[in-house]
Amino acid sequence: MTKVFTFLLFLFMITHVACDGNNDSGQEIKKEEEQEQEHEPEKEPEKGVDVPFAEYSLEGTSCQWVNLDFQYDFLVINSDEVLETYIEGTDYPAIDFSKQTLLLAYGFEGSGSYLDSVSLQQVSEQNYLMTVNLQMTIASVFTEWEVAIVIDKLDVESKVELNITRK
């Protein structure tokens, strides 16, 4: 008899819970949530389009980068005159500034690091994001780094943002 009573009590509880799940207040809550979702559309993360570039290096020349304060900084260079203020020496690779722009990012790390990768994305018509990925080492040495890339000529109104990541 107790088994039958326990079984009936169990069925009553399941029926009660099932009926409570279908009440109007539950439907009202659902409707309110749906209305909130309609008013606040989900924001998609900014997606960029990869921009092709060529790395610009002073390796194999007698030149070196100068006048870089090695705080984190970023330069958009569009002329030989400006480039010459940041390079010591004369045998550096030529850039056709009528068709190209040089992007120079540089910085200073308080521990060992080396350049892992660099990418450039166009996130809107005139906005770009240059991402520099640094690989950190366990060495406790101060490290200066710089990375330069050449891209198709940017408009005067274009803006480039620098993003530095450390792994």
> Are the C-beta atoms of 125 and 154 separated by less than 8 Å?
no
**What DSSP designation does 93 have?**
P
**What are the sequence ranges of the domains in the chain?**
2-39, 49-166
Backbone angles phi, psi at 129, to 5 degrees: -130, 115
Q: Phi and psi (nearest 5°) for 74? A: -150, 130
In the chain, beta strands by DSSP E = 49-50, 54-56, 64-65, 73-77, 87-88, 100-109, 113-122, 127-136, 143-152, 159-166
**Please, are residues 48 and 121 in contact by the beta-carbon 8 Å criterion?**
yes
Q: What is the pLDDT along the chain (167 residues), one digit of tens a residue?
A: 555 545 554 545 555 444 544 444 444 544 454 554 454 444 344 568 999 999 999 999 999 999 887 676 889 999 999 999 999 999 999 999 999 999 999 987 767 676 788 999 999 999 999 999 888 777 667 778 889 999 999 998 999 999 988 88
**CA nearest neighbour of 51 among 100, 111, 105:** 100
- What is the reported pTM? 0.67
